[in-house]
Amino acid sequence: MTNQLSSKTAIVLGVTPGNMGHAIARRFVDDGAAVLIAGRRKDALVSVAEEIGAQWHQCDITSEQDLDSLVATARDLFGRIDVGVNATGWGLLAPFEETSKDDLERMAATQFVGPFQFFQRLVRNMTDGGSIIQISSVTASIMFENHAAYMGTKAGIDHVIRCIANEYGHRGIRANSIAPGGVADAPMSAGGLNYPPIRSLYLREIPLGRVGVSEDVANAAAWLAGDESSFVTGQVLHVSGGQTLRRNPSIADFVGAHAAEQA
């Protein structure tokens, strides 16, 4: 445990037990920050808040009213907001031509419009600098099949982060994205990465020779939240073991690996 965030207050939005938001919030608390966690499920928030020693507030990122209430609660609790993290996401897998309008609208609301409106409220309420952190994905940079809606909205909000960095730097507000690869202990990707044939495909594409874990992402978030990164803004920090130097496995790779396992 360190005290590098002991003077900081933080909102972490998109927290549910075992996900990256959970790991980030835990790390912030361990580093001394006062933390307000948020997400859609009250039971999940209560569980995590009790475990790590954080405050909680129920919030659906697609609701402007919820976002207003979340930010107001943080101001009431802490007096100011130093750090805001968006760790929400929806890992839709659907062939391009089969992605429906309803899918697109839900994806845009969750991964573009909602984050955009969250960040608007953060910059309005950050009065003495601040750090905004978006959890992105390596797939915003490298290809993965049947994932276009997810990938496109992640890439789009990464560029919004650059816009915030450009337009609000004069106020000392920094904005950055963290782009993990597959995370073996997070709900969205753990299933595949803990299946040996799939895991081996990813290990082939990761120069550092292991899959990621939530702690890797939390470490990066703690650094971006703290003063040691005070001259870093407008960046996408890849936390993937170097996977973007190579590629994601293809659907054909997955099919072949599964067939070999069954043979």
Mark residue 129 as left, alpha or beta (left: phi above 0; alpha: psi -120 to 50; beta: remaining).
left
* Residue 248: count of CB within 10 angstroms of its CB: 19
Report how far residue 217's alpha carbon sits from residue 188's, in angstroms, rounded to the nearest whole number: 14
Catalytically active residues, by annotation: 150
Question: Which residues lie across from 12 on neighbouring strands?
Answer: 37, 85
- C-alpha distances in Å from residue 145, one per residue of 92, 112, 173, 179, 249: 11, 20, 35, 18, 9
User: Which sign, positive or negative, has the C-alpha torsion 135, 139, 144, 149?
Assistant: positive
Report how far residue 185's alpha carbon sits from residue 53's, in angstroms, rounded to the nearest whole number: 21
Residue 197 has which token pair? Answer: 């044939």
Q: Which residue has the tokens 């939240």?
A: 225
Mark residue 90 as left, alpha or beta (left: phi above 0; alpha: psi -120 to 50; beta: remaining).
beta
